[in-house]
Structure 1
């Protein structure tokens, strides 16, 4: 305490205007200023002394509020971290799903492309077979027409030759010959 008083009392070696100090001589100080300062100290001291409980309550409340805010911030941080992890997981799953869809789409596209090529080949082969069948049919029809014309011409020619060479005696012999053939055939079937 002595040190404090020594500090408050201005030592003799300090120059009067060279520093900061507290003049404790009431006769040298302004009494009104001292009264105002003293009144302010008493007034604020009452609030501090009487409100010591309320000041500590305010400090405790403030401390609790700060701690609560910190806890809430930590909880929100944890929730945000969890949501970020979940979002990253969903993003990774979405990337995997997108890759699967892309791969499936490409393979499906290749399969459909191959199906179209195969279908075009089958249709082309069917058209080729149909063309060949039509050509064969037309060839057969042309051959048949030629055959019929040849047969007709051969018959006409044979009839002309027969008409030219056939006389009544030759006709009688042919008729008799054929009758004998028919009679012989009839006898063979009845036996």
Structure 2
């Protein structure tokens, strides 16, 4: 490396009379040096720069192509998802309609069952009331009959004398005798 540096330093200090070297006069040689450097850079760097730009262009194109493929796949998945969503919405609507119908049927059955149960309770209540009324009527009749019988017995016992008693017995025996003769 030191040899390369020494060579450049040697060229800079080499006398310029009739030989090749670098002119260190900046004002006189700047445009020429710049054009030479740019020419060398363009000549040698053109291929490298072109390769770099081509590689970059290929990467960008590949990225765009991949993005387009991903976009196409995403659109396809989106359409599939929309189709599944429509199918699920239709099934949900059918389920909702079926369930509402089932609920309405169940509600009507429940109302009908409740109506029948209330009707049975009403009939049972009416029957119970009739039975209780009949019991009450029977109790009242028994009390009235008992009181009437007690009153009649009380009247008979107070009015009945031995002579009336014997006449009643004789009359009843007579009636029974006549009934026996009619039968025979």
**Shorter-normalised TM-score: what interval?**
0.5 to 0.7
The correspondence for 2:60, drawn from 59, 62, 72, is: 62
Q: Give the SS at the match of 2:161.
A: helix
In the alignment of these two chains, the number of paired residues is: 144
1:154 maps onto 2:152 in alignment: yes
Partners of 2:159 and 2:55 lie apart in 1 by: 150
The correspondence for 1:106, drawn from 86, 96, 104, is: 104
Offset at residue 39 of structure 1 (A): 5.2
The correspondence for 2:88, drawn from 87, 90, 96, is: 90
Partners of 1:101 and 1:46 lie apart in 2 by: 81
1:115 maps to what in 2?
113
**Unaligned stretches of 5+ residues in structure 2:** 1-28, 174-184
Which structure has more relative contact order (CA 8 Å, sep 6+)? It is 1
Distance 1:86 1:149, change over 3 A: same
Distance 1:89 1:136, change over 3 A: same
The correspondence for 2:135, drawn from 134, 137, 146, is: 137
C-alpha RMSD of the superposition: 2.9
Quick check: which one's helix share is greater? 2
Give the alignment's TM-score, normalised by structure 2.
0.64
Offset at residue 37 of structure 1 (A): 6.5
Q: Larger deviation: 45-54 or 128-137?
A: 45-54
Offset at residue 69 of structure 1 (A): 1.0
Distance 1:44 1:138, change over 3 A: farther
1:49 maps to what in 2?
47
Partners of 1:142 and 1:56 lie apart in 2 by: 124
1:127 maps to what in 2?
125
Distance 1:126 1:43, change over 3 A: same
**Unaligned stretches of 5+ residues in structure 1:** 1-30, 178-191
Counterparts of 1:1-16 in structure 2 under 5 Å?
none
Give the alignment's TM-score, normalised by structure 1.
0.62
Deviations 1:96-133 (A, max 9, x none): 11111211112211221222222211111111111111
Partners of 2:33 and 2:73 lie apart in 1 by: 54
